[in-house]
Amino acid sequence: MDGWTPLMAGKNGVNISTQSTKGGMNNALQLASIAGHLEIVRVLIKNGAAINVTDEDGDTALSSAAEYGRTDVVAFLIEKGADRDVVSDRGWTPLLRASSNGHTEVVRALLEAGVTVNKQLPDGSGALQLAAGRGHLTVVELLLDSGALMNLVDSAGDSPLIVAARHGQTDAVKFLLEKGAAIDLGAGRVVSR
C-alpha cells in the first residue's frame, strides 16, 4: 500500500476510515475536510468513509471543517448526516470552533442546520463568549439572532460582555450593550499585571 493515496486505497478495497499511523490519528476524510477539498470529501463519503469517525482528540471531519472555515465542506457533511452537535474530548463542538475563529458562513450553516446554540466548553464558555472576546461581531449578531443567551456566564462568572471588555473588543461591547446585555454582571476574576 506504500505510495497509494487514500482514494487509490479506497478504490481497491482498503478501509478508507482507517486512522493514520504517522503524526496523529487523522483519517482521509478529516484531512480532506481540513484542507477544504470538497470533491475528495464527496468521493470518500460515496465510497463508504465513516462520516462521524473521530481522531485522537475526538474531533470529526465536521469539527475540523468548521474550525478551518470550510463552509462548502461543512454544508456537504451536514447534508450527508454528520453529527452537528458532536463534542470533542475537550468539549468543543463545531459551532464553538467556528464561532471562536470568526467563520461567519460556517456559523450560519450550522445554525441553519439546527445546532444547539448554547452549548458550553468545560470552563463554561459558550459560542457567544468566544466570538465576543475575539471581536467577531457578525458572528455575535448571528448567535444572538439564533437564541444565544446574552447573559450566559462561564464558570468564572463572566458574561459575553465581560469577556469582550476584558479583551478590548470595543465594538462587541457596544453591540452587546445596545442589545441589552446586563452591565451589572460582575467579572468573576481579577486580572493583574
- At 18-61, the pLDDT tens digits run 444 333 445 899 999 999 999 999 999 999 999 999 998 999 99
Q: What is the pLDDT of residue 187?
A: 57
Any residues with CB less than 8 A from the CB of 36 and at least 6 apart, and which? Answer: 65, 68, 70, 72, 73
% of the chain beyond a pLDDT of 70: 82
What dotted CATH number matches 1-116? 1.25.40.20
Q: What is the pLDDT of residue 137?
A: 98
Average pLDDT in the chain: 88
Please say if the pLDDT value at position 84 is more than 70: yes
- At 42-51, the pLDDT tens digits run 999 999 999 9
Mean pLDDT of 167-191: 84
Measure the CA–CA gap between 29 and 136, rounded to whole angstroms.
Answer: 29
459560542: which residue's cell? 127
- At 96-115, the pLDDT tens digits run 999 999 999 999 999 999 99
Q: What are phi and psi of 120, to 5 degrees?
A: -125, 150
Mean pLDDT of 125-134: 98
Q: What is the pLDDT of residue 27?
A: 86
Mean pLDDT of 156-179: 97
Q: What is the pLDDT of residue 193?
A: 36
Domain 122-193 has CATH 1.25.40.20: yes
Any residues with CB less than 8 A from the CB of 169 and at least 6 apart, and which? Answer: 132, 133, 134, 135
Cβ(124)–Cβ(154) under 8 Å?
yes
Measure the CA–CA gap between 23 and 20, rounded to whole angstroms.
Answer: 7
DSSP string, 79-91: HTT--TT---TTS
CA distances from 38 to 70, 89, 111 (A): 9, 26, 21
- Give the residue among 19, 39, 22, 21 at the shortest CA–CA distance from 30: 19
Please say if the pLDDT value at position 1 is more than 50: no
The secondary element (H helix, E strand) that includes residue 127 is helix 127-133
Cβ(157)–Cβ(186) under 8 Å?
yes
Answer with the residue of higher pLDDT: 186 or 54.
54
Measure the CA–CA gap between 178 and 170, rounded to whole angstroms.
Answer: 12
Band (pLDDT 50/70/90 cuts) for residue 12 is low
Any residues with CB less than 8 A from the CB of 161 and at least 6 apart, and which? Answer: 132, 150, 151, 173, 176, 177, 181, 182, 183, 185
| Segment among 9-13, 100-104, 126-130, 163-167 with least mean pLDDT | 9-13
Say if 1-116 and 122-193 have the same CATH topology: yes
Cα-based angle 148, 191, 171 (whole degrees, multiple of 5): 45
Task: Give the residue extent of every domain in the chain.
Answer: 1-116, 122-193
Please say if the pLDDT value at position 10 is more than 90: no
